[in-house]
Amino acid sequence: MTVSTSPIETGDAAVVFDGVSKRFAASGQSAAFTALNDVSLTVGRGSITGVIGRSGAGKSTLIRLVNGLEKPTAGKVLVDGVDVGALDEAALRELRRSVGMIFQHFNLLSSRTVFGNVALPLEIAGMDRRAIDERVRPLLDLVGLADKHGRYPAELSGGQKQRIGIARALATEPKLLLSDEATSALDPETTQSVLELLKRINAELGLTVLLITHEMEVVKAVTSDVAVIDKGEIVERGHTFDVFTHPKHETTRALLSGLPGSKLPEAVARDIRPAAAAGDRVVVRLTFFGAAAERPLISRLIQSIGAEVNIIAGTIDEIGSKPYGSLVVAYGADPETSGKADRFFAENGLTVEVLGYVA
């Protein structure tokens, strides 16, 4: 994906949204509304692409268009060059065999064992028992549940249930895996293990993954590309590292502000104001990456401006093996100090966002 808004390229694309809109008519007590508006987006073959947005932004509608659970009101959704909205039921069933899906709430059958849940789509497809066994057992090995093949969902943890869901989604040997908020019901440690599994599947099987989420941590941990959706429109898209380090849209910046080290402490957030008064300190968020992440920036900043600098929050992390850091600091808002700070930031290639002012 690129940040460009020019006509999309469909060359080596697994999924293409081409000017897609989806409008729902009024129903019962629900008013008519537009869930998606003129969305154009390309998901590269073999990539892990994330679509992130708040609740109600249109994420779930977007992903349901890919496997034909919804049809677009306008535009086209192409999967491997095939217009999903134009398929009849028989062709749609065939396409769905090449598109696996994992869900937030697992959607497992409580009356079936681990093996039986993974085998279900193969049984529906009419595969014989021996072929099913040969397909399912390697998948249970892949997701680390070979020793649990005879257990039932009620006996397993949330992370184990999601691994069953992933194995089941892979049973039909799909080319594309859709993930609908697959980690939002899991604790952080379990989420990390599931994301590591998705990365491994992507690397070993060459599987394209389209992942929707409201969690920036998930996007940071696993995706190569990301699109930000807000009120049914794609407001920003690009390589994950570029979007994280140079966010252009206010929605993206708001989502990034919730990451550890970026969120303001409650005491500061409560007192911050948009305009400076005499004697105030300016609060800024610094984003740095690459070589800058390894420099003693704060000590150099203090030397450059000749004034105290308060560290309010901060973190150093990686996005796709590239070092990335976010630091929230405060210093004097007077013109002389602020001017020196601005020159220092420019000389060191730091991205700066003024968050407000505090006494």
Radius of gyration of the CA atoms of the chain, in A = 24
Query: Tens digits of per-residue pLDDT, 91-110?
Result: 998 898 899 999 888 889 99
Query: Tens digits of per-residue pLDDT, 192-226?
Result: 889 999 999 999 999 999 999 998 889 988 999 99
3-state DSSP percent of the chain in helix, strand and coil, to 5: 35, 30, 35
* Mean per-residue pLDDT of the chain: 89
Average pLDDT score over residue span 54-66: 93
List the beta bridge partners of residue 213: 52
Strands 176-180 and 208-213: parallel
Query: Tens digits of per-residue pLDDT, 291-322?
Result: 666 678 889 999 999 999 999 988 877 887 77
Helices (H) and strands (E) in the chain, counts: 12, 14
Average pLDDT score over residue span 4-33: 77
What global pTM score does this model have? 0.82
Give the pLDDT score at 7: 39
Query: Tens digits of per-residue pLDDT, 110-147?
Result: 999 999 999 999 999 899 999 999 999 999 999 999 99
Domains parsed from the chain with CATH numbers = 13-252 (3.40.50.300), 266-358 (3.30.70.260)
- Residue listed under structure tokens 């397909």: 135
Which among 188, 258, 257, 177 is positioned nearest to 223, based on CA atoms? 177
Start-to-end Cα distance in the chain? 43
